[in-house]
Amino acid sequence: MRFFALLLCTSASLIAQQNEDSLIIRKIYSYHLTESKSYENLRNLCKDVGCRLSGSKEAAKAVDWVKQAILKAGADSVFLVPCMVPHWVRGKKEKCEVYNNNKSEIFSVCALGGSIATPVTGIKTKVIEISSFEEIEKLGIEKIKGNIVFYNVSFNKEFIHTGNAYGKAVKYRSGASMAAKYGALASITKSMTTSDNDFPHTGMMKYDSLVKEKIPGFAISSMGAKKLSSLLAQNKNLEMYLYSDCKTLPDEPSYSIVGEIRGKEFPNEVIVVGGHLDSWDLGEGAHDDGAGVVQSMEVLAAFRKLGISNKRTIRCIAFMNEENGTRGGESYAELATKENKKHIAALESDMGGFSPRAIGVEAKQDTLLYYKKWQPLFEPYYVFIKQGGGGVDISKLKAVPQFSFEPDSQRYFDFHHTADDVFENVNKRELELGAATIGSFIYLLDKYGTYKK
Amino acid sequence: MRFFALLLCTSASLIAQQNEDSLIIRKIYSYHLTESKSYENLRNLCKDVGCRLSGSKEAAKAVDWVKQAILKAGADSVFLVPCMVPHWVRGKKEKCEVYNNNKSEIFSVCALGGSIATPVTGIKTKVIEISSFEEIEKLGIEKIKGNIVFYNVSFNKEFIHTGNAYGKAVKYRSGASMAAKYGALASITKSMTTSDNDFPHTGMMKYDSLVKEKIPGFAISSMGAKKLSSLLAQNKNLEMYLYSDCKTLPDEPSYSIVGEIRGKEFPNEVIVVGGHLDSWDLGEGAHDDGAGVVQSMEVLAAFRKLGISNKRTIRCIAFMNEENGTRGGESYAELATKENKKHIAALESDMGGFSPRAIGVEAKQDTLLYYKKWQPLFEPYYVFIKQGGGGVDISKLKAVPQFSFEPDSQRYFDFHHTADDVFENVNKRELELGAATIGSFIYLLDKYGTYKK
């Protein structure tokens, strides 16, 4: 009987707790939907600072901007974590022209981040369409040598989360080395996207250190890839002209920015919430990842505004150099090991400013159940707690429980790494609901701590 | 012990069943994401037919188009359900000009559906800004008479589902009668939207039969309302010129379209899945409700393509005249009472072609629990089963369990009833995921039936 009474008691207190939490979470959502600065901050970051590739002047301007904005959001203090970042520059606009039976046609392309340039006179040669690395191996040096390799690989549409389709296809963005191994002069890869439009998508490519020869890597828009493929089906001997002017300059000093509200009970326990400040040099880095940065700042602002007293120290971090190096994530993780503090959790928002769908928890089933208990609190906001989680920057914090904010992924690769990733393509309410979801989960993490065996 | 064994046994069979269902649901989603005709059908409906207000030539063309398309989707048979529909026409483009201290400025407005026209010379008078019906009563005839009443009422941003904010604010769209009661010459209402842009939103207004005088009703864009309000704050004596040319013609004959796949076990049990075919005359009726129509047709197509044998008769219905009369819903409900068949469930998709968030069930808690058991099957697709449900057209089917498809609502009122509700603003994958969610729920309804006490 005692056991039964205890159960009842626990259950009643659990309900009371959940009621209190649901009221506070409701207040957090209301704050974000009515008073939040997320949208205005994103406008400033996108329009006044603009795109901000690591090592650029704009990235330096962005550091100053975030430093001020985190203080305005209500951080007790802010500090910079230095790192040396790669400095790749695009140079003059790329060119791509296809010559087919006395006709010529311009295609939308861009150099991939980290690529070398073409010779100043460009490259003009035939194009070999490829659907997999295996196909290159099969064709061999005889067919590939002296040509441009065109990786025409589409996203697998059956994945529900488009990030999974990206994960499968993105290796072809670094296909230049494989093409070079067989003597190609350049590679051009279909853009990493679910959509059908004329924006080429940039993004990091890596050269394989085992392949001596480096050749330029390009992305072609999804519409362009479709058209090129149909032209090749009619005429295998058409020729393509490619030109790029990009180069890698010496590393530059830069910074991640950390703003914190110190914990009132356990100041030495740290919860990280962040996004990355750098962006590609096309567009304005609105969804990727201006959204994550302004949302993380507003987590602090909501705590201040609503008078939520955090037990643990909550740190909002705008990481530098996620796109092409993760140097910001690395240098912060290094700092974290040296500090006399314990990081108990880290959450990253780096999947765009779309409507919230889930909080991802990087955990095994038993651990997941601990967080799944919070799902009823999120059901009024249509948010699941599910397996998943993590982020590129926070992944450097070894052995720290990782979480991710999962917005709706269907439109992310419409904009990702393109000139169309601009402020106007972020919906105010979607951005705000994301910030509210992140803030509510951080509130629960702070209050109840992470899972302990 | 026997009870325990039975429980285990039930549980094992439940798991086996859920595994089978989860495989079929996975196939339904894959079909929609890879082979579905939803997006192409929507393109045809929006671009080849266009907007299709009840009574218009385009609405008649849409009836023919859907009839063919449902057969192509794989219906055993298709039939039309006649109804007489209102025939309101906008006529010449509306005008709104504000005269303020020797300056004049054009504002974006539109006549509200069902409104009478202004005199041919228009109306030019002062504007009284109002934030509630109570305020009109307080100001009284002395202040209102001879003026234009400007209802400047915003959506409540705190609602998570924007439809709830719409539900609270939409009464002001029919505010002309209240204004007329106090002697106003016209009313102009801030557009029903969460967004901040220059599209005026039309929509049905109704005249109060107790108020003898009818005056024209307009909508002004949300940006326009903001600007007008700030001008009025500076100068209460500014004047507005309004002109509209709309009128209501005699009712026209029209049709809802029904396509069905007969049930193999219980052909006399009917499950309805539908949307409405008519749309407002601005834009293309893409989200509202071309999306619901093409999704419902693809539910049939997926059953055919995947060889899913339905026990019950599944009817896809494209209802006519949801926007300004619900005559299609009414005439179908009338037919349903006369048929020698039993309607066991009806689901409507009329909230846009956005990413799926939930299936709404119009039911009390105990009934809801029956459907909630299916939620784990939908979790891989981020879809909740929740209280809610119904739709304007199917609401006429009395005592038939009602369900709704709930897509993400955040962007719906960016487009709703505007010139911007066009095909290009529907995302292919979001539309397809919606159709898959609807189809999967219909599959379960067909297989397991509805809740029985």
pLDDT digits (tens, 9 = 90+) for B396-429: 999 999 999 999 999 999 999 999 999 999 999 9
In which band, very low, low, confident or very high, does the pLDDT at B5 lie, cut at 50, 70 and 90?
A: very low
Q: Give the distance from residue B380's alpha carbon to the nearest chain A alpha carbon, in angstroms.
A: 8
Nearest Cβ partner for B160 among A162, A380, A411 = A380
Give this complex's ipTM: 0.94
Q: Which residues contact B55 (CB under 8 A, 6 or more apart)?
A: B85, B86, B87, B88, B249, B251, B252, B254
pLDDT of residue B20: 94
Q: What's the CA gap between B235 and B398, in Å, rounded? A: 53
pLDDT of residue A389: 81
pLDDT at B3 over 70: no
pLDDT at A176 over 50: yes
Q: What is the mean pLDDT of chain A?
A: 96
pLDDT of residue A366: 87
pLDDT of residue B260: 98
pLDDT of residue B11: 62
Find out whether A292 and A349 touch, Cβ atoms under 8 Å: yes
Q: What's the CA gap between B451 and B363, in Å, rounded? A: 10
pLDDT in tens, A88-130: 999 999 999 999 999 999 999 999 999 999 999 999 999 999 9
* A-chain residues near B379 (CB < 8 A): 384, 386
Q: Which domains does chain B have, with CATH numbers?
A: 28-86+250-448 (3.40.630.10), 95-246 (3.50.30.30)
pLDDT in tens, B93-125: 999 999 999 999 999 999 999 999 999 999 999
Q: Evaluate the CA torsion angle B262, B268, B274, B280 in order and state its sign.
A: positive
* Section A166-192 average pLDDT: 98
CA A361 to chain centre: 17
pLDDT at A273 over 90: yes
A118 in reach of chain B (CB within 8 A): no
Nearest Cβ partner for B429 among A355, A382, A410 = A410
In which band, very low, low, confident or very high, does the pLDDT at A11 lie, cut at 50, 70 and 90?
A: low
Nearest Cβ partner for A358 among B158, B382, B414 = B382
**Interface touch A427/B410, C-beta < 8 Å:** yes
* A-chain residues near B388 (CB < 8 A): none
* A-chain residues near B33 (CB < 8 A): 157-158
Query: What value, to the nearest 5°, has the Cα angle with vertex A177 and ends A174 and A183?
Result: 140
**Interface touch A355/B410, C-beta < 8 Å:** yes
In which band, very low, low, confident or very high, does the pLDDT at B8 lie, cut at 50, 70 and 90?
A: very low
**Interface touch B381/A160, C-beta < 8 Å:** yes
pLDDT at B1 over 60: no
B22 in reach of chain A (CB within 8 A): no
Which of B1-5, B374-378, B447-451 is least confident?
B1-5
User: What are the CA-CA distances from residue B47 to residues A337, B58, B64, B284 (Å)?
Assistant: 60, 11, 15, 8
pLDDT of residue A396: 97
pLDDT in tens, B380-403: 999 999 999 889 999 999 999 999
Q: What's the CA gap between B436 and B442, in Å, rounded? A: 10
Q: What's the CA gap between A20 and A26, in Å, rounded? A: 10
**Interface touch B33/A427, C-beta < 8 Å:** no
Q: What's the CA gap between A316 and A293, in Å, rounded? A: 8
Which helix (H) or strand (E) element contains residue A235?
Answer: none
Q: How many CB pairs under 8 A join A and B?
A: 66
**Interface touch A355/B33, C-beta < 8 Å:** no
Q: The sheet that has A402-407: what strands, in order across it?
A: A77-89, A247-261, A312-319, A266-276, A342-348, A402-407, A356-361, A384-387
* A-chain residues near B414 (CB < 8 A): 427
pLDDT at B226 over 50: yes
* Section B349-367 average pLDDT: 95
B38 in reach of chain A (CB within 8 A): no
**Interface touch A34/B158, C-beta < 8 Å:** yes
Q: What's the CA gap between B42 and B353, in Å, rounded? A: 10
Find out whether A320 and A256 touch, Cβ atoms under 8 Å: yes
**Interface touch B411/A433, C-beta < 8 Å:** no
Q: Per the omega criterion (within 30 degrees of 0), is the bond before B289 cis?
A: yes
Nearest Cβ partner for A160 among B29, B358, B414 = B29
Check residue B183 and give left, alpha or beta (phi > 0: left; psi -120 to 50: alpha). left
Q: Give the distance from residue A421's alpha carbon to the nearest chain B alpha carbon, in angstroms.
A: 16
pLDDT in tens, A317-361: 999 999 999 999 999 999 999 999 999 999 999 999 999 999 999
A29 in reach of chain B (CB within 8 A): yes
Q: How many Cβ atoms from other residues are within 10 Å of residue A424's Cβ? A: 10
Q: Give the distance from residue B156's alpha carbon to the nearest chain A alpha carbon, in angstroms.
A: 9
pLDDT of residue B18: 77
* B-chain residues near A384 (CB < 8 A): 379, 382
Supply the DSSP symbol for B416.
T
**Catalytic residue IDs of B:** 322
Q: What is the pTM of this model?
A: 0.95
Q: What's the CA gap between A173 and A203, in Å, rounded? A: 8
Mutation for A interface: B408, B409, B425, B427, most A CBs within 10 A = B408
pLDDT at B135 over 70: yes
Q: Give the distance from residue B409's alpha carbon to the nearest chain A alpha carbon, in angstroms.
A: 9
In which band, very low, low, confident or very high, does the pLDDT at A202 lie, cut at 50, 70 and 90?
A: very high
A376 in reach of chain B (CB within 8 A): no
Closest chain A CA to residue B433 = A160
**Interface touch A386/B408, C-beta < 8 Å:** no
Q: Give the distance from residue A204's alpha carbon to the nearest chain B alpha carbon, in angstroms.
A: 26
pLDDT at A2 over 70: no
pLDDT of residue A8: 43
Find out whether A295 and A349 touch, Cβ atoms under 8 Å: yes
Q: What's the CA gap between B143 and B159, in Å, rounded? A: 34
Find out whether B186 and B148 touch, Cβ atoms under 8 Å: yes
Residues listed for chain B: 453
Q: Give the distance from residue B315's alpha carbon to the nearest chain A alpha carbon, in angstroms.
A: 27
Q: What's the CA gap between A441 and A402, in Å, rounded? A: 13
pLDDT of residue A15: 74
Beta strands in A349-389 (DSSP E): 356-361, 384-387
| Residue in A189, A182, A201, A200 with CA at minimum distance from that of residue A152 | A189
Q: Are strands A342-348 and A402-407 parallel, antiparallel or unpaired?
A: parallel
Q: Give the largest CA-CA distance in chain A.
A: 92
* B-chain residues near A355 (CB < 8 A): 355, 357, 408, 410
